[in-house]
Structure 1
Amino acid sequence: MSVPPSHNTSGLRLPPEVTRILYVRNLPFDVSANAMYDTFGKYGAIRQVRMGTNAKTKGTAYVVYEDIYDARNAHDGLSGYNLAGRYVVVTYFQQRTPLAA
């Protein structure tokens, strides 16, 4: 069985900040979820796209990939990508841990 070229076959580990969830900002306010699936889906299977809907979150989205290597390739390929006249910023989602009291 062959492994797709996007997958890590050398046994090296990904950096700890790499996750299956990408946080995307600076999106055009009128971008559709379908456009997000079309753009980000070129890098692999997407489990979910969550678009910001209120005044504070408009222009942002979370893209959840099925595979962490697809997320890494999308991050590398789409950071700074011009989507409908806006250069999108793509980062890995990092869940915040509550501060110890």
Structure 2
Amino acid sequence: MASISLRKGNTRLPPEVNRVLYVRNLPFNISSEEMYDIFGKYGAIRQIRVGTSKDTRGTAFVVYEDIYDAKTAVDHLSGFNVANRYL
């Protein structure tokens, strides 16, 4: 993938970059507060929805206010270890 500058000027991000992140392989008992602690380091978060049903446990949606913050979070947290599970 080509290098992407994170300046907020005329920089164009590829179409797969989005403010909404779908996170998998989370511990089933992770809380929204723990998610804020992990993902909030990379920017302002609008919403976090942690899966609670049988089919959605271990997943979450994280919505950032800014697309560049979401991109930074993806860059830093891909493969991140949470309770012996890798994101």
TM over 0.5: yes
| 1:9-88 alignment, distance < 5 Å | 9=8, 11-88=10-87
Runs of 4+ in 1 over 3 A off after TM superposition: none
Distance 1:48 1:9, change over 3 A: closer
Structure 1 unmatched ranges of 5 or more: 1-5, 89-101
Larger Rg: 1
Q: Distance in 1 between matches of 2:6 and 2:15?
A: 17
TM-superposed CA distance for 1:10, in Å, is 5.4
Q: What is the distance in 2 between the residues matched to 1:24 and 1:8?
A: 25
State the AA in 1 paired with 2:14: P
Identical amino acids, percent of aligned pairs = 65
Per-residue CA deviations over 1:7-63 (Å, capped at 9, x if unaligned) read 424522000110100000000001111000000000000000001011110000000
TM-score (norm 2): 0.90
RMSD, aligned CA = 1.4
Provide the TM-score with structure 1 as the length reference: 0.78
